[in-house]
């Protein structure tokens, strides 16, 4: 029985070794698992190859370099989105979509940042973009529909990306929160005092602190939708700018 260089007595044939065949799908499956466990930027091609019991060259052969694998992971992440019912009004449709988006992106740390910067492939994005912009066109946003869509999706991804980054340095974030909370009684700095009181609530209530970013995300989504709702009234009244 022959063996590969540097592998001792491991047989060349995966079937003979009782190993499943390496395919592009299995590689991306493994990359998705690593992303869920470690984050998109925290695994190497060599580690990925180890997950499928193969050499990095085999990964490269089936999928490509690390960037190509990451692109495939992002496409998978986008594919997990469930689109809302097209019977919903435009605002309720996007509120549902963006709630679902945060849930999906938070399962795969780092994917939100990548999406905010580059977006998914055209093939992966077509389903969501077409549905979302059709909803906006039907609502009356006309030629501004693509801009409105990109505003909502990019803003949502940026907030999730911020949340992912804070997870990576929670101790520093907690320390700053305590520092800000110390300003809560500063009558000479009313703005900082208001912020300090809000931060003091987080310091005093772990449950509230744990849900802070979810509330911030929901607030950002709702205020963006408020702005677009107002813009829609302008478009309906014939305003151009």
Q: What is the pLDDT along the chain (241 residues), one digit of tens a residue?
A: 333 444 445 456 665 566 678 999 999 999 999 999 999 999 999 999 999 999 999 999 999 999 999 999 999 999 999 999 999 999 999 999 999 999 999 999 999 999 999 999 999 999 999 999 999 999 999 999 999 999 999 999 999 999 999 887 767 668 888 999 999 999 999 999 999 999 999 889 888 888 899 999 999 999 999 999 999 999 999 866 5
Which residues lie across from 11 on neighbouring strands?
A: 3
What does the block give as tokens for 109?
A: 């740390």
Residue 57 per-residue DSSP state: H
Segments making up each domain of the chain, as ranges:
1-79, 84-168+211-236
- pTM for the model stands at 0.86
Q: Which residue has the tokens 């994005």?
A: 125
Which CATH entry fits the domain spanning 1-79: 1.10.8.420, 1.10.10.60, 1.10.3720.10, 3.30.565.10? 1.10.10.60
Angstrom distance (rounded) from CA 222 to CA 95:
8
Which CATH entry fits the domain spanning 84-168+211-236: 2.60.120, 2.30.42, 1.10.357, 1.10.150? 1.10.357
């Amino acid at each position: 029985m022959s063996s590969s260089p540097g592998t001792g007595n491991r047989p060349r044939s995966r079937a003979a070794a009782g190993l499943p065949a390496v395919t592009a799908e299995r590689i991306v499956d493994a990359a998705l698992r690593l992303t869920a466990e470690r984050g998109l930027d925290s695994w190497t091609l060599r580690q990925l190859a180890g997950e499928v019991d193969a050499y990095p060259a085999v990964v490269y052969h089936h999928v490509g370099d690390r960037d190509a694998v990451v692109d495939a992971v992002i496409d998978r992440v986008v594919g997990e989105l469930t689109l809302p019912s097209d019977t919903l009004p435009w605002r309720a449709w996007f509120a549902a979509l963006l709630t679902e988006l945060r849930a999906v992106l938070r399962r795969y740390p780092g994917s939100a940042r990548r999406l905010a910067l580059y977006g998914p492939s055209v093939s992966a994005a077509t389903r969501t973009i077409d549905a979302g912009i059709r909803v906006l066109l039907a609502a009356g946003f006309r030629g501004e529909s693509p801009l409105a869509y990109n505003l909502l999706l990019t803003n949502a991804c940026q907030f999730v990306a911020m949340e992912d980054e804070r997870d990576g340095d929670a101790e520093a974030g907690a320390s700053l929160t305590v520092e800000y909370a110390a300003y809560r009684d500063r009558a000479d700095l009313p703005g900082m005092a208001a912020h300090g009181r809000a931060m003091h609530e987080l310091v005093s209530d772990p449950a509230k602190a744990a849900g802070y970013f979810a509330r911030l995300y929901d607030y950002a989504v709702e205020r963006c939708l408020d702005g677009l709702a107002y813009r829609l009234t302008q478009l309906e009244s014939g305003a151009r700018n």
